[in-house]
Amino acid sequence: MKTIIVYYSMGGNVDFAAQKIAALTGAGLLRIEPKKAYPDSGAKKFLWGGKSAVMEEKPALKPYDFNASEYDLIIIGFPVWAGNVAPPLRTFVKENDLKGKRLAAFACQGGSGAEKALKKLLYAIGTDEFEAELVLNDPKDRPDEGNEAKIREFCGKLGF
């Protein structure tokens, strides 16, 4: 089964989780990046990123190589921004038809809102549910023994 993890990570928490999931599943990794980077510190980080998320903006992405038909399972990872999917992931979903694919998703959050963001991602894709969902509270910045178990359970639901 060919699997890929498509993700966006600003602070490294989603990247951390994606690496752990890839190690357990053998999945390939595709880290998407906006052409114009978001500020990654200070008030501008929250103002610009939050506005972009709330307004459901779709920033232009740096070129990437992806063809959904090449994969049996697509795992999507993103940070939660203001209760929403991070905008670069919204662009990726708009640019790629993922309907009818086996899909799973994971979200990293500093506070709350991941469940709401996962529902918004389902709506953006145009599907009803993910085969598995995972919510982590900033696993790189706030290590927790429970995260490893949550990641293993997530992968187990996908047959790994």
Instruction: Provide Rg for the chain, Cα atoms.
Output: 14
**Beta strand spans in the chain (E):** 3-7, 28-31, 73-81, 84-85, 102-109, 133-137
Q: Assign 112 to helix, strand or coil.
A: coil
Q: 10 near 89, Cβ under 8 Å?
A: no
pLDDT in tens, 55-95: 566 788 999 999 999 999 999 999 998 888 989 999 999 99
pLDDT in tens, 13-63: 999 999 999 999 999 999 999 998 765 655 555 555 554 555 566 788 999
pLDDT in tens, 111-124: 889 999 999 999 99
Rounded-to-integer distance, Cα 141 and Cα 156, Å: 25
pLDDT at 51: 47
pTM: 0.91
pLDDT at 52: 58
pLDDT at 42: 59
Q: Which stretch of 41-45, 129-133, 138-142 has the lowest confidence by average pLDDT? A: 41-45
At residue 74, φ and ψ (nearest 5 deg) are -120, 120
Q: CA torsion angle for 86, 60, 125, 114 (degrees, to 10)?
A: 0
Q: Which residues contact 131 (CB under 8 A, 6 or more apart)?
A: 73, 102, 103, 104, 157, 158
